[in-house]
Amino acid sequence: MTITEGDLVVVVGQTISKDGPTERHTVLSTVVAVGKRDVFVQRRTSSRIFSAPKSRCVKVPTDKASAGDTVLEPKLGNLVLSMTDRFGKSDRKLGVLVEIIDIPGDYLMAKILMGEKSESVLFKSLIVVE
């Protein structure tokens, strides 16, 4: 795959310890200049420009992404997955959507049934599984 100026790429790095590679890192960037074997990229989260080997860049095919699509809205009876992230810890809840709670002035909530117990979650934290 050819990388050209203006392309959106993910630059891959890693942490290496005495035991070998321990962690993989990725940075979303825009290509600002292309060399024979390397590129200059600009991080999407800042204006920092850095060089990277082309071999560590994965081009993101933005032409195939449909920016106008929206998340499928869950309906009562759907099997849903709720995912939240708080202070770096993610929480998953899988269950059947049994209530949608719309109290004016509050966040839209959902009650999901997980086996014998139910739990209230933010409606926007849901995706339809089945």
Query: Are residue 57 and residue 99 in the same domain, yes or no?
Result: no
Residue 101 structural domain: 79-128
Spatial contact of 121 and 92, defined as CB atoms under 8 Å apart: no
Write down the pLDDT at residue 68: 80
Domain co-membership, 13 together with 36 = yes
Does 52 share its domain with 83? no
Residue 59 in domain: yes
Structural domains in the chain (count): 2
Q: Is 7 exposed, middle or buried (0-12, 13-18, 19+ CB in 10 A)?
A: buried
Cα–Cα distance for residue pair 78/76, rounded to 1 Å: 6
Query: What are the two backbone dihedrals, phi and then psi, of residue 28, each rounded to the nearest 5 degrees?
Result: -80, 130
pLDDT at 128: 96
In a domain, 73, yes or no: no
Q: Which element (helix H / strand E) includes 57?
A: strand 57-59
Are 20 and 53 part of one and the same domain? yes
Kindly state whether residues 55 and 92 are assigned to the same domain.
no
- In a domain, residue 105? The reply is yes
**What pLDDT is stored for residue 45 in this prediction?**
85
Q: Are residues 13 and 56 in the same domain?
A: yes
Q: Is 48 part of a structural domain of the chain?
A: yes
Residues of the chain with pLDDT under 70: none
